[in-house]
Amino acid sequence: MKPPTYNNEDNQQISQEQGERNVANAVCVQLAGRAIIRVVSRCEEAQDNCNLDLSDCQLMQVPDAVYHLMRHTDLNSCDLSNNVITKIPPKLAIKFSTITELNLSHNRLSKLPEELVELQDLERLDISHNSFIVLPSVTCQIPQLRRLYANDNSIIEIDVEQIKCSPALEFIDLRGNTIPPRTHALLLEDCGKTKIELTPRHVEDWEDLNV
């Protein structure tokens, strides 16, 4: 079978397409290189101030190299906001066990690992602007967690009893979620010591919250 033949016009088009691909690949490599440099630089800063800020780093996950670079640092806080992270690994709770603040907002998370309960000193957790449908049960089990920001997700399922039994929760922001009427009413009625921030809802005439 003979190889296909191309005229000069075809060759020019192929050459142009290859050139465009090469430029695109070079740009991707350059952007990836900048992202890596940014992450390493942020880790070096955290080694001095104990606050790890990896926000806006184009991360799809927490690189293993981060845990290695921070292995001798007792962190106070960790900011992973404004990335495209879809999953938090269980080992984060082990490697960053001393943090008091964790910001996971503006990512693509829908679940949290149960191992976060091991964050014995965590007081503030931000999971707002993600893809949660269910309020993660682990958020009501973290021993010292006082403030939880879960606003602007797609949460429709909440265990109110878990909130009432949480060891330390003082405040939960649930605004901007599609919480069902009955659950909305229960959250307003009695959540013990926990203050709940909710988006006000208009009760339609046909609704009967007692059903």
Structure tokens that stand for 131 in this block: 């893809």
Residue whose entry in the numeric block shows the structure tokens 């879809």: 86
Q: Please give the residue that has the higher pLDDT: either 194 or 23.
A: 194
Report the pLDDT value the prediction gives residue 23, as an integer from 0 to 100. Answer: 39
Structure tokens of 64?
A: 């293993």
Supply the pTM of this predicted model: 0.82
| Separation of alpha carbons 77 and 98, rounded Å | 8
pLDDT tens-digit series, residues 117-176 = 999 999 999 999 999 999 999 999 999 999 999 999 999 999 999 999 999 999 999 999
Say whether 105 sits in a helix, a strand or coil: coil
Q: Which pLDDT tens digit goes with each residue over 45-97? A: 999 999 999 999 999 999 999 999 999 999 999 999 999 999 999 999 999 99
What is the reported pLDDT for 12? Answer: 54
* 143 vs 38, residue with greater confidence: 143
Distance CA 14, CA 20 (A): 10
pLDDT at 207: 53
Average pLDDT of the segment spanning 180-197: 93
pLDDT for res 37: 85
What is the structure's pLDDT at 48? 97
* DSSP characters over 139-156: GGT-TT--EEE--SS---
pLDDT value of residue 201: 79
Q: What pLDDT score does 25 carry? A: 42
CATH architecture of 11-197: Alpha-Beta Horseshoe (3.80)
User: In the prediction, which pLDDT does 190 show?
Assistant: 83
SS3 assignment, position 12: helix
Nearest to 59, CA basis, from 26, 95, 92? 92
| pLDDT attached to residue 192 | 86
Between CA 54 and CA 72 the distance in angstroms is 18
User: If you write DSSP's letter for every residue of 110-134 in order, what string do you get?
Assistant: ----GGGGG-TT--EEE--SS--SB
- 24, pLDDT greater than 50: no
CA 150 to CA 137: how far, in whole Å? Answer: 12
> Are the CB atoms for 61 and 85 separated by under 8 Å?
yes
Name the CA radius of gyration of the chain, rounded.
24
* Residue 99 per-residue DSSP state: -
Cβ contacts of 144 within 8 Å, gap of 6 or more: 100, 120, 121, 122, 123, 167, 168
In angstroms, the first-to-last Cα distance of the chain is 75
In this structure, is the dihedral angle defined by the CA atoms of residues 185, 201, 109 and 118, taken in order, positive or negative?
Answer: negative
3-state secondary structure of 53: strand
- Under the banding of pLDDT at 50, 70 and 90, the label for residue 204 is low
> Does the structure show a pLDDT above 90 at 182?
yes
209 pLDDT exceeds 60?
no
Cα separation of 21 and 19, whole Å?
5
